[in-house]
Every structure is written in C-alpha cells, then in structure tokens.
Chain A
Amino acid sequence: MNAIPKWLWIALGLAVLIVAPIGQGNYFTLILCSWLMFTIAAMGLNLTLGYAGQISLAQASFMAVGAYITALLTLNGIHWIVAMPAAVVACFFIGLLVGFPALRVKGHFLAFVTLAFNTLVVLVLRNEDWLTGGSYGKFNMPRPDFWIFNTARKSDVLGIALSSNQKIYYLCLITFVVFAALMYGLIRSPWGRAFKGLRENPIRAESLGLDTRRITLLAFAIGSAGGGLAGSLMSPVVQFIEPNSFALVHSLRILLMVVVGGAGYFFGPMLGAAVVILLPEFLRFTQGYYLILYSVAVIILMVYSPSGLMGIGDRILSKLRPQRVVRGDMKEGAQL
C-alpha cells in the first residue's frame, strides 16, 4: 500500500471524479454535486475545528450567507464568477466577527454561541421577506455561462454530449480541486503549523510569539469562507434555496462529516461527507431506518475511535509500522 506514492492515489481519485458523471442520470450527478459542495463546507470547518481546535456549529449559516448573496447577485444579472468571490469575502468577514467570542470562551460555550448564531441567521432569512423571499426562499438562479462552456444548457464538449447538470458538476469539481489545493497549501504553510499550535497548546504557542488571537480569528474567517464558497455553488446547482436548508441540523450534519471522517486529517472531510451524503443513497433499502442505524454507528465510532474513520486507518497503518505512536486521545484533550 505504501509502495504507491500519494500523488498517484490523488491522480487516480481525480480521474474517477472526472469520469464519474458520464453516462449517469441527473439524480446521481446532483448527488455528486451535493457531495462536492458539502465536502468544501466540511473542509472549511475542518480548518476551524480539526486544525485550529475551535468548535463551531454555524457552518450551515455561512453556506446560507454564501448562497443568498450569490442568488441575489446572479438573479440581478451579475455573473457567478463575480458573485462567488463576493460571497466568499463576505463570509470571511462575518466569520471574523463570529470568531470574537472564541477569544473569550472555549469548548461547549463556543458551541452554544455559534449554535445561537446559526439559529439567528435562519430567523433573519425567514423574516426579512423583502430581501430573502422569506419562507419561500429564492429560486431559478441562473447557471453561469463560461463562453465555450455554458452550464445552463446541454451541448457537446470535446465530442461528449454533456447535460446542464453534468456541466454544473464539473464547475463543482473544478471549484473543489482549486479549493482543496489552496487548503493543502495553507495547512502545509507556517499558518497551518500555527493553527495546529493553537489547537495543541495555545499558551505555549503564545509564548513563542504566536499571536493566538489573530490565529483564532483567522481560523474562523477562513473556515467560514469555505462555507460561503459551498453556498455560492449551491445557488446555481440546486437553483432553489430556502431558510430550512441552512437550519441548525445542517450545521450538525457538517460537523458530523468532519468528525466521522476524522477531524484534523486533510482527507477526513471528503470521506466524512461521502459517508453522510452518499451512503444513504446506497442504503436506500433500509428506508427510514437509515438515520437510526447511522446515529448508532456514530455513537459507536465516538466511543471506540474519536479520531474518526481516518483515525481507524491510521491505527491500522501504525500496527504495520510499530515505531510510530499515534495518540488520538491527546489530540482530543487538546481540542476542548
């Protein structure tokens, strides 16, 4: 397994993602889009929670802000390529604000503040009809036209007939790849090391010249921007958004993706989002029992491997390489 270099795995994964929607129907293609969007949101939260150790239950509200800003701008004739950065930047700054409580409180208190924030955002979306369309939400957002690649209608691209849904999938995929590359760079950079330092030992980090306040705020802001990016994809993909799509339960879902996949692992959110989004599709035969089975599985996972599925993988690998000691328990302690 170790004989195959990492880049080859990534190339292989990318190849699978590129051919995945070909020959597939709309339903499957949109499920894949959904997976990519939630992966982006979960990767953002993974930075805040997994790397920097700051719990946030508000990621869905940042998706909401991103989605509504994108919807309002694109419905008014502004191209998605302009609306998307606007949404991301807005979420960055709102995330900065939401990060301020993290300077005063930690752990479960922070969970409650962010939880309250999420609920407030949904209330505003529901009540400010003039702007947000109230409970009816916003619909018929246009899909972007990139000159030779118009995602709004079907056409042949490089000799392959692609539907509008398939093309919007590729928009999601490109956004995802670019975002993942940026995140990878960020995590490997000194900033990433500073985020981990904040998670593992904030007092020591501060004594080494690290401005932990600034790092905390940045962790929130960048993580929230990830939520905003996911939201700005949701607008043209789903073409219908309403307040309930961003309720607290969806923040919990994104949190579950991060934790089930493995908080603090780069590939954790991708795996976690796949489990949360794709698995129900494969387990359709269980019907309504799916969520029941799923919640039991999460409880068992939390009891036996709090570092998630990636943690289990890590443990198996460390059995193969016994000299490396993996201490998921210590990370857990440092997170809260």
Chain B
Amino acid sequence: MSQTVLSVSHISKSFGGIHAVRDVSFEVQKGEVLGLIGPNGSGKSTLFNCVLGQLQPNAGAVTVKGQSVSGMRACDLNKLGVGRTFQQLSVFPEMTVLDNIILAGQEHHGTMLSRLFGAPDAGLTGEADRMIEFFRLGHLRDEMAGSLSYGQQKLLDAAMAFMAGPDLVLLDEPAGGVNLTMLANLKERLQTYNREHGTTFVVIEHNMEFVMSLCTRIIVLAEGAVIAEGTPEEIRSNSQVIDAYLGG
C-alpha cells in the first residue's frame, strides 16, 4: 500500500580519515514527514548532500522513486520530482515575488521552444498566485524579493520548492533565524500542504520544538551513525538521544 519515495541504503562517506557518515540506511514513504536531527558534526549535512546527489558516497546508494541520484545534476533531480529549500536565504532578490514563483515552476511546463515563443508567464500566473496566497505572501506579490523581511524570504523559498508539484521536498533548516510568529505560520502551512497534497518531506533542523511538532518520524544521527529512530514521543524519551545532545 505505502510507496517508497526515498531510499537510503548503507551510505558511508568519509573525508580524508574522518568518517562523516557510517552505514546509514532508511526509507521514507509517501506522505511522511521525516526529521533528521543530531548535534553539530553528526553528519546531517553530509547525508543531506548525498541525498541531493551533490556528494558521492564512498559506499551505498540513494534512490528517489527507484532511481539512483548518484552524480545527478541538481536540475535533473528537480525534474525527477525533488524540491528543496536552502539554509541561507535563497531567493532571486532583484525579481518580484511573482517572478520568483513563476521561475520555480516554468521549467516544468512546456518545452524550450514554447518557453521562448509562448506566454511570458508560461501560463503560470494563476497557479503562482494560488501558491503566493497559500503562503500568505499575497500583499507582497509585486515587491522585489530582496526587499522582503528574513522570515518572508524563508516563506518564499519554501513556496518556490513546492511550485513544481514535487513528490519529495528536502527542507534544510527551514526554522533557522525565523521569529516565533513566522515560525508558527511556516509550520502550519507546511502541515497543511502535506495534508492536502500528500507530499513527502525530509527536514533537517536544529530547532527541536519545530521538528517534534512537524515530523511524523525522526531519525537521530550522532558521529555519522543512526542512534535512534521513532515517533517524536519515542525520541523525546530515548536516553541515548539525551546523552548525545548533552555530550554524555
């Protein structure tokens, strides 16, 4: 019944003599919201970059919907149905919010030629407006993205990741630096999107509160290996996790 969207099997990655990731395996099913947490240097980012095809693991394989992502270019990964957000602000500052959103969707509509000779908005204005409204950026539609507040740009970044209707969205520290009101807004929007579209999320995050309330399942990494896996309640009461975070 359930359908595997992302499969990570026996991934290892070392830099020089340091094993950043050791033999990590997990699967993510359609509609799941998986959290990847761990203290600094636990290998989260390395793992994340292996999943994105940006780093080649020394061993193991990552497949998205059954396709290996090893060595895949970011644009091809996106075409395969993987959206992502960035840790740092990652919008197009000198373009309007609307143009940012249309750009996020246009490569998934029509051909090279239809994009040259067809409508300037690639027929996406309606869809883009719905996405802008969904993320409550409607009043900023025609503003330059660079003039938005930090939190608004984070929302815009998330909105762009969804514009192409992805099956899997990788969120790289979505809560970083966002104020509490904006954070509640972001979380609620992500949950609603997940419920309405059944999109699968993988979230890397430091903010425990955010991860615990957003995710359906959590994987804890420490020193490159998985030390715990389970629902937020299980993780909360896991003594190994508490030790890892307290440096025990």
Interface of A toward B, CB cutoff 8 Å: 186, 188-191, 193-194, 196-197, 199-201, 203-212, 264, 324-327, 330-331, 334
Contact = CB atoms under 8 A, between A and B. Distances in A.
Interface residues of B, number: 36
B94 A200 contact: yes
B86 interface: yes
B198 interface: no
A264 B95 CA distance: 12
A327 B78 contact: no
A146 to B, nearest CB: 27
Contact of A209 (B78, B86, B102): B78
Given A208-B103, A210-B107, A330-B146, A191 B92 contact: no
B74 A206 contact: yes
A334 B91 CA distance: 12
B157 to A, nearest CB: 8
A226 to B, nearest CB: 16
Interface of B: 73-75, 77-79, 83-84, 86, 90-95, 99, 102-104, 106-108, 115-118, 120-122, 143-144, 146-147, 160, 163-164
A231 to B, nearest CB: 24
A189 to B, nearest CB: 6
Nearest to B107: A209
A186, A190, A204, A330: residue with the most chain B Cβ atoms closer than 10 Å: A190
18 contacts: A186-B116, A189-B115, A190-B120, A193-B95, A193-B103, A194-B107, A197-B95, A201-B92, A201-B93, A204-B86, A204-B91, A207-B75, A207-B83, A208-B107, A210-B103, A264-B94, A327-B94, A331-B93
A266 to B, nearest CB: 14
Contact of B147 (A194, A325, A334): A325
B120 A203 contact: no
Nearest to A188: B120
A325 B144 CA distance: 7
A177 B147 CA distance: 35
A30 B84 CA distance: 54
B160 A193 contact: no
A207 B78 CA distance: 6
A203 B144 contact: no
Contact of A201 (B75, B90, B99, B117): B90
A327 B145 CA distance: 10
B92 A196 contact: yes
